[in-house]
A = this chain, B = another copy of it.
Amino acid sequence: MGDRVLPVDVSTVQERVYLEVQAALHQGRFMPGEAVTIRSLAQAVGTSPMPIRGAIQRLVAEKALVQLPNRTFRVAPFDLDIHAEQTRIRCAVEGFAAYRAAIRAPAGLVDELRDANGTMRGAVAAGDTDGVLDANRQFHFALYRGAESSQLTEMITQFWLRSGPFIAMALRTPESRTMFEAGTRLHDRIIDAIGKQDPDGARFALALDIRAAAAWFRRRYRSEQSDPGEGSPAA
């Protein structure tokens, strides 16, 4: 019978709401600091306030949203100081995951990383920014799964949840192409270090990758701030 009917989605409305809002945040569809209300979200996704509550509480716990003293919710705030701090933390945490992945080097990891990086190259060549971001994410999380620590992966996911401003910048900036091309070369260095089971090399190359993307973002961000056009952050 299993070949005649497909599995059905048994997730709850709250889970689906959570995934939709999480994706919107991650893709930078909300501005940092923007107010988010239970009733407006409920209206937008077509449910009652109840499932929105649970989803929003979870996103607050994950620090993608913040709840103010007057109990209203906003998208987590953002500025270059916050960004610099996040970059330092990411280098430490994700660098450690890369270090561990190089030590454990489970079977198939190098092939999986090469595949994801190859897909990313193809997407860059095609000018497909959505595809680039997706492949980049595939690459990084394949690497972090290689560390074989679900706690680490969860922690890293929460930081990625707050990369909305970067994602939005990449999507509206054609010049992101050269930044991503450079990123695929840094990915090559990470793969090489994993292949040689060189943990320090993996950590170092991973940190270069994160810092290069952060530097690109900072330059673009400052440029947009000094020349305010559309898309400037609210906070």
Contacts and interface: CB of A to CB of B under 8 A. Distances in A.
Contact of A45 (B5, B41, B43): B5
B1 A46 contact: no
A40 interface: yes
A227 to B, nearest CB: 25
Given A1-B40, A40-B1, A20 B45 contact: no
Interface in A1-45: 1-2, 4-10, 13, 16-17, 20-21, 24, 29-30, 36, 40-41, 43-45
A5 B25 CA distance: 9
B44 A24 contact: no
Given A1-B40, A40-B1, A45 B6 contact: yes
A47 interface: yes
B8 A46 contact: yes
A43 B109 CA distance: 32
Contacts of A41: 1, 5
Nearest to A6: B20
A24 B5 contact: yes
A44 B4 contact: yes
23 contacts: A1-B43, A1-B44, A4-B29, A4-B44, A5-B20, A5-B24, A5-B45, A6-B20, A6-B45, A7-B44, A7-B45, A7-B46, A8-B13, A8-B16, A8-B17, A8-B20, A8-B46, A8-B47, A9-B9, A9-B13, A9-B16, A10-B13, A10-B46
